Structure 1
Amino acid sequence: MMFPESMKKKNMRVAEKEKGKKGLSLLGVDDFEKRGFKIHDDNHQPLTGFDALLAVTDLASQFLLEEEEHEEEEEQRQKRLMREKALKRPIMKKKSFLDDDKEWVHKDYSRFKKKILRSSINDKVHEMPENMRKLIDSMNGNNIMIVIQKNLFFTDTNEHYHRMSIPEKQIRSADFLTQEEKEWVNNEGGEMTPLFIQPSLAVSELVFKRWTMAKSDSNKCSYVYVLTCGWNDVISANHLKQGDKVQLWSFRINHQLCLALARVAANHHHHDS
C-alpha cells in the first residue's frame, strides 16, 4: 500500500495528551513507517481514502497505547520511589512523653522494612481456574504458561480500539512463543490466529500480533503484542470492563499455540490490593 501524494504533502493531525493538557501534534508518513506500517504493497497501489482512514485510526490507537504504557511506567516509577523513601525513613518514636529533650529512637525498623516489602508485592499470580484447566485437559492441551496478569485499560475495553494490549516487558513467561513463532510475529506484518478460550469457556479465534511503538522522547521504540479481530465480541460476551484484573495463559495442542483468558475473582483482586 502506498499513501496518496495528498497525504504525503499534508500532515495529519491527531490528538494527544501532554502533561495533562490536550493538544494537537502533526503526524506524517514517518510516523507510520516507524511503527511498522507498510506504505506500499506488492503492486504499489495507492491507498483509497477509506483505507487511509483505517490506517490513521489504527495508528491513533497505537498512540494511545504508547501513552498508556508511559503512564504505567511513570506510576510504577513513583511507587518505587515511594517505597525507597519509606525504607530509608526510620520509624521514630519519643523515648518518653516526659522527656524534655525530645530524644527520638528507632523502633522495630527491620520488621517495618519487611512489612513494606511484603505489601509491595501486590500482583500475585493466582492459579488458573479449575474449570478452565479441565477444559484444556479435555482438549489434550499441555505446556500451560502464564503470559500476563494485568488490569484492563480504557482502550482494552473500548469498542473503537478492538484490541487488548500485552506489553512485551510485562510478559511473565518469555518462552511462551517458540523461536520460530517469535521470528514470524516479530517480522513486519506477521500475525497468528490461535485458538482462544474466553473467561466464559467459550472457544473462538483471535488474531495475535505485535505492534512497534516509537517513544516520543527518544529514538528508541518498544513493542507490544495485541489480541484483536474478535476482541470486541470477547469484551461483550464476558462483560469485561476497565479495571478488571485478567490473566492471559498460553498452552499447546499438537504443538500449536493456544491462548486462554481468565478473570481474577473479585475476592482475590480485593485481597491483593
Structure 2
Amino acid sequence: MPTKQVIKPDEFLRKNEIEDLENGMEFEVKLWGPRLEMHKKPMMLKMWHMISTSNYVLKTNWNRFVKANEKDFVINKKIQVWSFRIDEKLCFAIACLDRDVDGQNDAAAAPII
C-alpha cells in the first residue's frame, strides 16, 4: 500500500507505530479476508522504502492468505483495505468490490459512492 495513497495514516497508526515502522521495525497484525473470516495465521506489517515512495506491506503468510482467497482476488478487481483495532491490536480487513477497475463488470455492480 503506497503511503501516498493511504488516507490519514496517523488515524490508523499510533505515533509510536509510525516511528517504529519508519525505523525498519515490523509488528504483527491480524487480517480479515473478503469472506469476513479472520485469517488463521498472523501477518507482519512493515514499511518498505523505495526510491520515490514508501509502502506499507503485509508480509509473512501473505501468500497463504492469497491462496485461501484466490476465488475473490481476480485481475482488475478493485479492493479496499480497512483498519480497525481489537483490544488495542491493529487489524486489517480486505474488501473486494463488485465493480472491476476497468469498468467491464458494471452491469452487475451497484454504484460506488
Regarding TM over 0.5, the answer is: yes
Structure 2 letter corresponding to 1:206 = M
1:199 offset after TM fit, Å?
0.8
Partner deviation per Cα, 1:117-136 (whole Å, 9 max, x = no partner):
xxxxxxxxxxxxxxxxxxxx
Partner deviation per Cα, 1:223-264 (whole Å, 9 max, x = no partner):
111112111122222121232111100001122211111111
The alignment status of 1:261 with 2:94, answered yes or no, reads yes
Counterpart of 2:35 in 1: which secondary structure?
coil
Q: Which runs of 5+ in 1 are unaligned?
A: 1-165, 215-220
TM-score under structure 2 normalisation?
A: 0.77
Q: Which runs of 5+ in 2 are unaligned?
A: none
Structure 2 letter corresponding to 1:209 = K
User: What does residue range 1-273 of structure 1 map to in structure 2 within 5 Å?
Assistant: 166-174=1-9, 175-188=11-24, 190-204=25-39, 205-214=42-51, 221-239=52-70, 240-266=73-99, 270=106, 271=111
Counterpart of 1:242 in 2: which secondary structure?
coil
Partner deviation per Cα, 1:5-25 (whole Å, 9 max, x = no partner):
xxxxxxxxxxxxxxxxxxxxx
Between Structure 1 and Structure 2, which shows a larger proportion of strand residues? 2
Q: Which residue of 2 aligns with 1:122?
A: none
Identical residues among aligned pairs (%): 32
Partner deviation per Cα, 1:143-186 (whole Å, 9 max, x = no partner):
xxxxxxxxxxxxxxxxxxxxxxx000001132210001101111
8 A contact 1:209–1:225 mirrored in 2: yes
Misfit runs of 4+, over 3 Å: none
Alpha-carbon distance in structure 2 between the residues aligned to 1:207 and 1:263: 21
Alpha-carbon distance in structure 2 between the residues aligned to 1:192 and 1:198: 19
1:266 offset after TM fit, Å?
3.5
Alpha-carbon distance in structure 1 between the residues aligned to 2:96 and 2:64: 16
Alpha-carbon distance in structure 2 between the residues aligned to 1:194 and 1:229: 10
TM-score under structure 1 normalisation?
A: 0.34
Between Structure 1 and Structure 2, which shows a larger proportion of helix residues? 1
1:195 offset after TM fit, Å?
1.1
Structure 2 letter corresponding to 1:210 = M
Alpha-carbon distance in structure 1 between the residues aligned to 2:99 and 2:54: 30
8 A contact 1:168–1:225 mirrored in 2: yes
